[in-house]
Amino acid sequence: MTNDHQTILTAASAAAGPMLLLAFGALPAAWLNRHGWRAARTGSFIALASLAFTLLSVVSLVWLGKADFNWAVAGPLNLGVYFDNLSAIILTLVSFLLAVVARFSVNYLAGDPAQGRFTKWLCLTGGSVLTIVISGNLVQFALAWCATSLCLHQLLLFYPGRPGAVLAARKKFVISRLGDVCLLAVIILVHDTFHSWNFSTLFNAAKSLHETGPLANGVEINVICFLLVAGAMLKSAQFPFHSWLPDTMETPTPVSALMHAGIINAGGFLIIRLHPLVTLSPAAMSTLALFGAFTALFASVVMLTHASVKRALAFSTVAQMGFMMLECGLGAFGLAVLHLVAHSLYKAHAFLTSGSIVGLAKSAWTPTEKPNAHPLTIAAALALAIGLTLGGAAVFNVDYRHEPALLVLGCTFAMALALRFGIYGAKHSTSNAWRSGRFLAAPLGWFIFHCIKVSVPCSASTSGSMRNSTHGLEWPWLRCCSRSSCWCS
């Protein structure tokens, strides 16, 4: 690993944003409170500056290529920046959301005596999340991961007199510490097995293990993968650990927006970042897929019954995270990134506008009734889904026995698509059907794209059914992100 000038430029511009935010957050809360509104304006400006630095780093990445920068090496421990396509996507996403949320909270909390303290912890939380994204080694990753949850704890207890807030924050605190224990165990085991914490070294080691086939130290690697899966499930509010998320609604709405859009998906990011490692254990991947699928189904049923906008949105987040974990567990990491970005953007928007729904309802809004499907429509949708998926397999020459992810996700999307067309086609005009069907265009596009990719013989050399995800060609699909909404929302 050489730290040449080009790498340093990319790494420095990527690290500048989080450093700025953390530096602002280090200012004393009492002093910031005295300058409340102006402190919030400054915080919002700093979030905007960090977004500018992020965009600079993305330009630098496109021009100069991936950055793997290491500084202050002391044994296996060092400070590093690992900046590739995945980091660039997530860094841009989170900086953008943070800039929007910081600007939103300037007016949202105007006049609050603790506005300065709020801005301080908002910037610290944002800075920690950005540090997770650009981390170059596992220890730095875990430290930033832990710092994020501790800073978020301060935001959740922004109104410490509210019993609901205290209860929810405690549940979150205990679950987060369990997640930290998982990561700590991973750090120790990874050092025992691979003798390094650097991501690039780990990925190379994992790649060679993929090629050699049956593993000599299989038990240790399985334990590492299961711990990573457990850490991701604890962070992303998966099934047995989900109950804190719908309860954290006592905090100011901008915090909910940032948490649901920028922080909760850190679990998914952990799995996607370390996917060369996690894919070494098929058992861990299957566990992740099963828990993710169950969470998605459980939460999307519970969501239907909630009348409170924010609680329903919280259960929707749980369901979406479950669906993302399912995609990760099936090895569809590209789709998981797409889902992460799309979900973050739409959920941040939904939370920030949730307050306006009341005003809208008071003025002119009449609730539109949800159309019910005739049982025959559902049967037809199922038949169409199976037909589309098998037909797709025939057209593109795909063998589903080697592509379980394509089969499940293809069938699921086709089913949702067919049902939406069925319902809207029967009860509404055709233009409505197109409008609702368009939302599924991006996942369906991904599906067709992967079918083509699989059917091209040269890609057959990639290891097993687990595909390398952050492929350059998948970037065009990210353009459809803001429009694609998943069917469990």
- Answer yes or no whether residue 432 interacts with another protein by CB under 8 A: no
- Answer yes or no whether residue 297 interacts with another protein by CB under 8 A: yes
Phi/psi-derived region of residue 75, left when phi > 0, alpha when psi is between -120 and 50, beta in every other case? left
| Alpha-carbon gap, residue 15 to 131, rounded angstroms | 8
Q: Which stretch binds another protein (CB under 8 A): 160-168, 215-223, 391-399, 450-458?
A: 160-168
> Whose Cβ is closer to another protein: residue 220's or residue 247's?
247
Binding residue for another protein, selected from 22, 144, 227, 419, defined by CB under 8 A: 419
Closest separation between CB of residue 246 and another protein, Å?
Answer: 8
- Answer yes or no whether residue 152 interacts with another protein by CB under 8 A: no
- Answer yes or no whether residue 306 interacts with another protein by CB under 8 A: yes
- Answer yes or no whether residue 427 interacts with another protein by CB under 8 A: no
Number of amino acids touching another protein (CB under 8 A): 48
Build a one-symbol-per-residue string for 376-415: x at contacts with another protein by CB under 8 A, - elsewhere.
Answer: --x--xx------------------x--x--xx--xx--x
- Answer yes or no whether residue 114 interacts with another protein by CB under 8 A: no
Closest separation between CB of residue 411 and another protein, Å?
Answer: 6
Q: Which stretch binds another protein (CB under 8 A): 55-63, 187-195, 259-267, 294-302?
A: 294-302
Closest separation between CB of residue 133 and another protein, Å?
Answer: 30
- Answer yes or no whether residue 367 interacts with another protein by CB under 8 A: no
Region 201-260 residues binding another protein, contact defined as CB under 8 A: 240, 242-244, 246-247
CB-neighbour burial class of residue 78 (10 A; exposed 0-12, middle 13-18, buried 19+): middle
> Whose Cβ is closer to another protein: residue 65's or residue 240's?
240
* Residue 489, token pair as written in the block: 């929302």
Instruction: Please report, as ranges, the residues that interact with another protein according to CB under 8 A.
Output: 160-161, 163, 166-167, 170-171, 174, 240, 242-244, 246-247, 286, 289-290, 293-294, 296-298, 300-302, 304-306, 326, 369-370, 372-373, 378, 381-382, 401, 404, 407-408, 411-412, 415-416, 419, 423, 487-488
